[in-house]
Amino acid sequence: KAGVTQTPRYLIKTRGQQVTLSCSPISGHRSVSWYQQTPGQGLQFLFEYFSETQRNKGNFPGRFSGRQFSNSRSEMNVSTLELGDSALYLCASGGLAASPGGSEQFFGPGTRLTVL
């Protein structure tokens, strides 16, 4: 089974620009979660999509948005980039919560975004 893929792997943008990151989950998985990882704040939950609907949202400004398509692929968008948005953006895919306490999450390798 192919793993979670994220594109692009590396990206350099300048302040004020916008960026779109893509995540393809494991085949059959309907949940996609996004996380931001920085040295200062660690891993922080951004949002989760399930069957094209946003189910949960973390504490991030409205500049961060996302969507999920009918094939479960997901994109996240960051508008008006700031220097502090430089981070590793990770997505995770999960199947149905077949067991209580949440299904196992499978993470992609991440997209390294640098904002200059």
Partner 1 sequence: DAKTTQPNSMESNEEEPVHLPCNHSTISGTDYIHWYRQLPSQGPEYVIHGLTSNVNNRMASLAIAEDRKSSTLILHRATLRDAAVYYCILRAFNNNNDMRFGAGTRLTVKP
Nearer to partner 1, 50 or 64 (CB): 50
d(CA 47, CA 56): 5
Between CA 18 and CA 27, with CA 22 as vertex, the angle to 5 degrees is 165
Q: Which residue type, as a one-letter code, is found at position 116?
A: L
Nearer to partner 1, 14 or 73 (CB): 73
Minimal distance, residue 66 CB to partner 1, in Å: 13
Report the DSSP beta bridge partners of residue 56.
48
Total residues found in the chain within this entry: 116
Minimal distance, residue 17 CB to partner 1, in Å: 25
Minimal distance, residue 45 CB to partner 1, in Å: 5
d(CA 16, CA 51): 31
Minimal distance, residue 107 CB to partner 1, in Å: 3
Binding site for partner 1 (CB under 8 A): 4, 31, 33, 35, 42-45, 47-48, 50, 55-56, 58, 90, 92, 94, 97, 100-110
The rounded Cα 53 to chain-centroid distance in angstroms is 14
Nearer to partner 1, 90 or 113 (CB): 90
